[in-house]
Amino acid sequence: MVKIRLRRLGYKKNPVYRIVVLNSTTKRETAPIQHLGFYNPKTKEMKLDKKSALDWVSKGAQPTRTVQFLIDRCNDDGTLNYEKKTTEKLSKKAQAKLQAEKEAAAKEAEAPAEEKAE
């Protein structure tokens, strides 16, 4: 069976991957059938020949889950469509403070509404 998978390059704690087409029974470092592109997870930089990748998938090649994710998120020009998360993780103290501010604002909003009703 033919697989589309990642080949690890780079040095310790700084991985860079090539996206390659391999026979599933061979090792990761053997000569690939075809190079499709590269992916750097630290900088979120990617260059992929999406047309060739989809052509291999239509021929029956099985992409790994990570490669399938990259193909799905890939633009037509081969770059990664990466959306950075905008939510911030807060500490428990900061979450409690934010919750207290919301409750105080809600009470202030209710007070003028009650005065108008009377």
Domains in the chain: how many in total? 1
Q: Is residue 9 part of a domain?
A: yes
CATH (domain of 60): 3.30.1320.10
pLDDT attached to residue 79: 86
Confidence tier at 76 by pLDDT (50, 70, 90): confident
pLDDT at 117 over 60: no
Structure-block tokens of residue 65: 């889950």
pLDDT at position 114, please?
Answer: 59
Domain of 44? 2-73
In-domain check, residue 27: yes
With 0.85 as the threshold, say if the pTM is over it.
no
Q: Average pLDDT, stretch 20-45?
A: 88
The verdict on residue 94 lying in a domain is no
Q: Annotate the chain with DSSP letters as a single string.
A: -EEEEEEEEEETTEEEEEEEEEETTS-TTSPPSEEEEEEETTTTEEEE-HHHHHHHHHHT-EE-HHHHHHHHHB-TTS-B-----------HHHHHHHHHHHHHHHHHHHHHHHHHH-
Does residue 12 lie in a domain region? yes
pLDDT at 4: 93
Give domain status of residue 66, yes or no.
yes
